[in-house]
Amino acid sequence: MLSVRQPYGWAPATRSWTQKWVNPGAKPKMRAALHRRFPRPGDRKEIVPLPISKLWTPINFGKFYGLGKTLPEIVFSDSDWFFHMYEQDGFMGRLAREAEEVAGKARQIRIPGKSPKDFKVQYRMSHDIGKFWYIEIVDADEPLPTECPFDRRDFLDLSFPRDCSQYDKRGGRRIIKQLKIHVFGNENMRLTKAACERFFNSSKNFGYRRDERTQPSTPWLASRVPRRGR
C-alpha cells in the first residue's frame, strides 16, 4: 500500500510502501518473479509529484474582517472593492504582493478555448450613463458595432466596470455573472474559496500563450464614453 505525506504546502511529498498481506502459500521465488513483472509505481519512476498550490493570505480588516476570505475570493465577489483598495495602496506586506498578482491576472482572464488571435471580448455599455452592461465573445474580424458604446479587448477584464465608472457595484456584479457564463460555463456556479484559489493558481487561465505574444492587443474603440481619470 502506498502512503503519501505532505506536512505543509511547500514541502516535498514523501512516499512509503507497506506490505499489507502475503499469501502464505506463495513461494519466495514466485513472489520475486511477480515483483519483477509487476513492479511498484515508484520502482518504475512513474509517480507524478503532488501539485503544490499557492497559499493565499486571509484578509482580516475592513468589511472582510474575521471572514477568512482571500484576494482570489474577494475579486470574484466584489471586484469594485478590490480594485479600489488596490488603487489606493490599501494592501501591505505580503498582501500587497498578492494583490499585485491578482490585479494583473484579473485584467487578462482567458475565455476557454478562444485564442485572442481569433476571438475578442466585446464589452457593451449603456447608452445613458456609459456603465458596463454585458460582454459577448466575437470573431476578431467581426465588423464593429455602431448601435451602442462598446470596447473590444483580448481578455475578460474584471476592472472594466470600475474603469467606466468609479463606483459601480451593479456593474461589478454583472461582470462576475458574465465571468461565470463565459469562463466557467455556469451562470449559477458557486465560487467557493477552493474554486477561486485553484483558478488563480493556474497560469493557463491568464494572458497570452507563447505563440500569441507577437500579436498586439488591438484597442478597438467606437462610440466610447470617456474613461474616468486614474
Q: Would strands 220-222 and 132-139 be described as parallel, antiparallel, or unpaired?
A: unpaired
Is 217 contained in some domain?
no
Amino acid letter for position 97: R
Is 6 contained in some domain?
no
Is 49 contained in some domain?
no
Is 190 contained in some domain?
yes
pLDDT tier at 220, thresholds 50, 70, 90 = very low
Looking up cell 472582510 gives 64
On the CB side of 14, CA atoms within 13 Å amount to 5
Is 15 contained in some domain?
no
Cross-strand partners of 123: 135, 151
CA dihedral 83, 79, 131, 176 (to 10 degrees): 150
100-112 confidence digits (pLDDT tens): 999 999 999 999 9
144-176 confidence digits (pLDDT tens): 877 778 888 999 999 999 888 777 888 889 999
Cβ atoms of 45 and 15 closer than 8 Å: no
Backbone phi, psi, residue 57, to 5°: -85, 130
Cβ atoms of 107 and 155 closer than 8 Å: yes
189-210 confidence digits (pLDDT tens): 999 999 999 999 999 999 998 8
What does pTM read for this prediction?
0.69
Q: Which has the higher per-residue pLDDT, 44 or 64?
A: 64
Is 21 contained in some domain?
no
Number of structural domains in the chain: 1
Is 25 contained in some domain?
no
pLDDT of residue 230 exceeding 50, the answer is no
Please give the mean pLDDT across all residues of the chain. Answer: 80
Is 143 contained in some domain?
yes
Domain of 139, in residue numbers: 56-208
